[in-house]
Structure 1
Amino acid sequence: MSRPQCARCHRPTSHCLCALIPSLDSRTRVLLLQHPSEVGHALNTARLAALGLNNAQLVVGEVFEDLATLLNLPGYQARLLFPADDAQPLQAYAPEDQPLLLVVPDGTWRKARKLLHLNPLLAALPRVTLDDGGISRYRLRKAPSAGALSTVEAITQALQVLEAPTSFEPLLKPFEALIEGQIAAMGQEIFQRNHGDEHLG
């Protein structure tokens, strides 16, 4: 029998994170496109980001039939947060800048690339990236490359750059509690043996 689950954060009610989830305003609109394989993941950080940001939307799927509507949001210019040779590093807004609709694919690198392949409108968006050097706090798995961040970390870092000096650090509080809970559940000895000599970034 499955354990009772919080309807909002989808965590077991005994480990509900809602008390730690902030309610942050942002000039940037964040659109999270989540691969279905991520929905049931214990560390669903895209959901945490969507819950913590008032100006965010989470859409689950592989082919997004209404993508044109989602991307053509009046008052925003859509940009895809995803690596590419011609991707522009994010910079702080100037007062006259139109805010971004920051589109963030959520999934493994392979699944995220599949989302781009299946949704040509998504793949055609101008791309933006974060400066290298971000250190992930995601201590439960090894990063595929230096600077690889979880979804909520990438969004937090992006907003910190775009909307400086506003702090979006509170977005990471439920994420950090989630990581601590996972480590506690596996036991410190197993964590050290499996992950103690690894670090992300």
Structure 2
Amino acid sequence: MPRPHCPRCCRPLDHCLCALIPRLDSHTRVLILQHPSEVGHALNTARLAALGLGNAELRVGEVLEGLPQLLAQPGYRPCLLFPGEGAQPLAQFAEAGQGTPPLLVVPDGTWRKARKLLHLNPALAALPRVALPQGLSSRYRLRKAPMPGALSSIEAIVQALDILEAPARFDALLKPFEALIEGQIAAMGEEIFRRNHLRD
């Protein structure tokens, strides 16, 4: 018999994270575009971010219907949080906005799946790209980052909002994420975690 799950955070009821999920307001609107392969992922940090932010929306799909309308929301300047050639520093994009809040579009998936989202959705590829500062490190201790500075979706969103909404801070959004990681470490056992995840 399958374990009952919380309908909100989608975690097993005995590991529900809802009590740790804050409700944070932001001027920035966050649009998270999740590749379908991420929906069943144990950590699913995009869902945690969407639940914790009042001005956020989570859409799931490879080809996203109605995307041009989502990107053309009145009163916002859209940008795509995706590093690489042509991406400008996020702080620079914010400064050039003259008070117009950003619509921060965040693809959620592996790098390969995120690139596929851009390929299948030309409206995404046409957005100005922004990037976080270099040298950031992930708290995601259960997975080796594919490249320096790679963050989980929820970490990237927190870092971005800390820049865009300074001096406001969004660290509270990471509480359920950290509890999730601690729970997984506890489930596998400290010895196995140290042997498999603390090697140089």
Judge same fold: TM > 0.5, yes or no.
Answer: yes
Two-structure CA RMSD over aligned residues (Å): 1.2
- The answer for unaligned runs of 5 or more in structure 1 is none
Residue-by-residue CA offset, 1:137-164 (whole Å, 9 max, x unaligned)? 0000000111000000000000001111
- DSSP-derived class of the 1:57 partner: strand
What is the 5 A alignment of 1:3-14? 3-14=3-14
What amino acid is aligned across from residue 182 of structure 2 in structure 1?
E
What amino acid is aligned across from residue 177 of structure 1 in structure 2?
A
The structural deviation recorded for 1:91 is: 1.1
The structural deviation recorded for 1:84 is: 2.2
- DSSP-derived class of the 1:146 partner: coil
- DSSP-derived class of the 2:59 partner: strand
What amino acid is aligned across from residue 5 of structure 2 in structure 1?
Q
2:99 paired with 1:97: yes
Task: Identify the residue that residue 61 of structure 2 maps to in structure 1.
Answer: 61
What is the 5 A alignment of 1:123-134? 123-134=125-136
What amino acid is aligned across from residue 173 of structure 1 in structure 2?
K
Task: Identify the residue that residue 175 of structure 1 maps to in structure 2.
Answer: 177
CA distance in structure 1 between the aligned counterparts of 2:62 and 2:120, rounded to whole angstroms: 7
CA distance in structure 2 between the aligned counterparts of 1:30 and 1:146, rounded to whole angstroms: 24
2:79 paired with 1:79: yes
Task: Identify the residue that residue 197 of structure 2 maps to in structure 1.
Answer: 195
Task: Identify the residue that residue 118 of structure 1 maps to in structure 2.
Answer: 120
Task: Identify the residue that residue 26 of structure 1 maps to in structure 2.
Answer: 26
CA distance in structure 2 between the aligned counterparts of 1:2 and 1:146, rounded to whole angstroms: 38
- DSSP-derived class of the 1:178 partner: helix
Residue-by-residue CA offset, 1:49-106 (whole Å, 9 max, x unaligned)? 0000000000000001100111000000100000121111111855942110000000
Task: Identify the residue that residue 41 of structure 2 maps to in structure 1.
Answer: 41
TM-score, reference length from structure 2: 0.96
The structural deviation recorded for 1:133 is: 1.1
Which one of the candidate residues 150, 155, 158 is aligned to 1:156? Answer: 158
Count of residue pairs the alignment pairs up = 198
TM-score, reference length from structure 1: 0.96
What amino acid is aligned across from residue 86 of structure 2 in structure 1?
D
What amino acid is aligned across from residue 80 of structure 1 in structure 2?
L
- DSSP-derived class of the 2:33 partner: strand
- DSSP-derived class of the 1:65 partner: coil
- The answer for unaligned runs of 5 or more in structure 2 is none
